[in-house]
Amino acid sequence: MSSPAEPRRPRWLRLEGPFVLGLPAILFLMLLFVGPVLRLMLMSVEGGSLAAYEKALTDGLYLRVFLDTFEIAAIVTVACALLGYPVAYVLTTLSRGWAALGFACIMIPMLTSVLVRTYAWMVLLGRSGIINRTLMDWGLTDRPLALMYNLPSVIVAMAHVLLPMFILPVYSVMVRVDRELLRAADGLGASGWQTFTRVYLPLTWPGVLAGATLVFIISLGFYITPALLGGGRIVMIANVIENQVQALLDWRFASALSVVLLVATLAVQAASNRVQAPRG
Amino acid sequence: MRPWLRRLLRGYALAVFALLLLPLLIIVPISFSSARYLQFPPPGWSLQWYRRYLDDPTWIEATFVSLRVASGATVLALVLGTAMAYSVVRGRYRGRVLVERLGSGPMIVPHIIIAIAIYGLFARLHLTSSEAGLILAHAVLAIPFVLAVMSAALRTVDPALEQAAMSLGVGRVGAIVRVTLPLVRPGLVSAAVLAFLSSFDEVVVALFLSGTTKTLPKQMFDNIQNEIDPTVAAVSVLQIALVLVALLIVSRFGQKTVPR
């Protein structure tokens, strides 16, 4: 750091140089992100009344929506883990060319918009969608089945949308696992299953936790997929917030619901950080 | 590992890859269908849905709004996010962890909350229904991507190179412009592509802010809610093609994301 060739400048200026470069973004985000979100949160207690929270947390209707949202997020997270963990592992074993192909299979859907991917599921699952047409053509059913506008369709589409977000963090942990450790476990007489549960799974757990947290948190705030595939029957908290603002103009209640959603999101993130920390 | 287990796992992975890609692939034949409604397999082929997209001024206008908004948001987020990443990576000041949290905040806070928060502000500033408002809001959402990619890229640059340049008298800004930025050009390409796509695909903020200046995703969302006609399939195929182009650009000029 203190090489003699450094320019002669006051020490504080040299140290603060990088900080100054961060200032424009800090100001920008304060004005357009932190400020507006704080202002929104304050709206929930406008006039010093907690009535909006009382409604959000005691009205059975909204409590139900919160529980449904958590349930959907949990199922989607588990589905992503079951589908994604083995895939991430296989990716680490492939040769360079095959791995690149595998990554293309993950990156193309990941970068395609959520809207397009949700639309694709509507094309598949709709009343006159591909699956119903095929079933009817083969004479397996007379009338179209109700495959859309229900819980399974929302869960399937959300898992499809979020799966790449689970695979990537898990993969990035898996590639760093030292293969010698697995060979050592094998040499010490561990069975394949023991090597997996006692060595490989614990070593890759931080990746699973990171991926699962990401998927769970994004699921909690999901809007597009339930709005289109839920058909008004499957309602998540983001859909209620949108409706309160756009249709009912009830900003105070929307604000209270937003605070509850935000607190839940940050709590999940904090809990995940705490679990991860001691493992170092 | 036993060979049968290895084969089983590979088969499983293959099935998951198919599951990831098939829903997207299925849109392609639908978009070239000659039928007047969704039908599979298509009874014949035609370009009618692409023609309908190109002939409809609403769709074309929405496309240009999205292209302008995404370009503006990309430039804004790239400048602000890169400077912020430099600040976080090179800075030794207290509170830079806090700055990093601030920069990645828009990725963690649900977009619906950011959307109505900005909507509340912009409604008073008369910035709704304007491309400027959309650019500002989309830049907020894109900054975390730029920050993440550029922080990783900047960590690979040896600070000694910058110090050498500064010792030759170009100053910090000169060192960044002439030494650091050329070295992280692949990162800049990746960050720009991610920022552009994040804005070009964005629905939730546009739902509130776009008003009469509809973006392409907003137009698609409205169309899907009213009727599922294959015009959206044609637009979707064009979007997937854009993603493929973006991936090609990143693999050719971008940051190597696969650590091998």
Separation of alpha carbons A91 and A107, rounded Å? 13
Q: Does B12 touch chain A (CB under 8 A)?
A: yes
pLDDT at B173: 84
Q: Is the pLDDT of residue A3 over 70?
A: no
Mean pLDDT over the full length of chain B: 91
**B interface test, pick of A15, A31, A46, A111 with most B CB neighbours within 10 Å:** A111
Q: Is the peptide bond before A24 cis (omega within 30 degrees of 0)?
A: no
Work out the average pLDDT over B188-199. 96
pLDDT at B256: 65
What is the C-alpha R_g of chain B? 22
pTM for this entry: 0.90
**CATH numbers and ranges of domains, chain A:** 73-274 (1.10.3720.10)
Q: Which of B110, B167, B224 sits opposite A5 (nearest CB)?
A: B167
Q: Which residue has the higher pLDDT, A50 or B242?
A: B242
Q: Is the pLDDT of residue A6 over 70?
A: no
Separation of alpha carbons B24 and B241, rounded Å? 11
Q: Which of B93, B113, B232 sits opposite A16 (nearest CB)?
A: B93
DSSP secondary structure string for all residues of A96-132:
HHHHHHHHHHHHHHHHS-HHHHHHHHHHHHSTTSHHH
Q: C-alpha A15: how far from its chain's center?
A: 37
pLDDT at A2: 44
Q: Is the pLDDT of residue A195 over 60?
A: yes
Q: Is the peptide bond before B41 cis (omega within 30 degrees of 0)?
A: yes
Q: What is the pLDDT of residues B99-149, one digit of tens each?
A: 999 999 999 999 999 999 999 999 999 999 999 999 999 999 999 999 999
Positive or negative, the CA dihedral A3, A7, A11, A12 is negative
pLDDT at A280: 39
Q: Is the pLDDT of residue A15 over 80?
A: no
- State residue B45 phi and psi, 5-degree precision: -110, 145
- Nearest CA among A170, A22, A171 for reference residue B151: A22
pLDDT at B238: 95
Q: Is the pLDDT of residue A241 over 80?
A: yes
Of all residues in chain B, what percent carry a pLDDT higher than 70?
A: 98
pLDDT at A235: 94
pLDDT at A13: 47
pLDDT at B258: 45
Provide the pLDDT confidence category of residue A190 given band limits of 50, 70 and 90.
confident
Q: Which residues of B touch A262 (CB under 8 A)?
A: 109-110, 113
Q: Does B127 touch chain A (CB under 8 A)?
A: no
B237: CB partners within 8 A, 6+ apart: B27, B28, B31
Separation of alpha carbons A56 and A41, rounded Å? 14
Q: What is the pLDDT of residues A125-158, one digit of tens each?
A: 988 788 888 888 888 888 888 888 999 999 999 9
Work out the average pLDDT over B14-35. 92
Provide the pLDDT confidence category of residue B18 given band limits of 50, 70 and 90.
very high
Cross-chain Cβ contact B137/A109 below 8 Å: no
pLDDT at A277: 61
DSSP letter assigned to residue A230 = S
Provide the pLDDT confidence category of residue A9 given band limits of 50, 70 and 90.
low
Q: Does B240 touch chain A (CB under 8 A)?
A: yes
Selected residues 58-97 of chain B with any CB under 8 Å from a CB in chain A: 79-81, 83-84, 86-88, 90-93, 96
Cross-chain Cβ contact A245/B258 below 8 Å: no
- Nearest CA among B192, B166, B201 for reference residue B254: B192
Work out the average pLDDT over A99-105. 92
Q: What is the pLDDT of residues B149-192, one digit of tens each?
A: 999 999 999 989 988 988 898 888 888 989 999 999 999 999 99
| CB A32 within 8 Å of CB B137 | yes
| CB B46 within 8 Å of CB B33 | yes
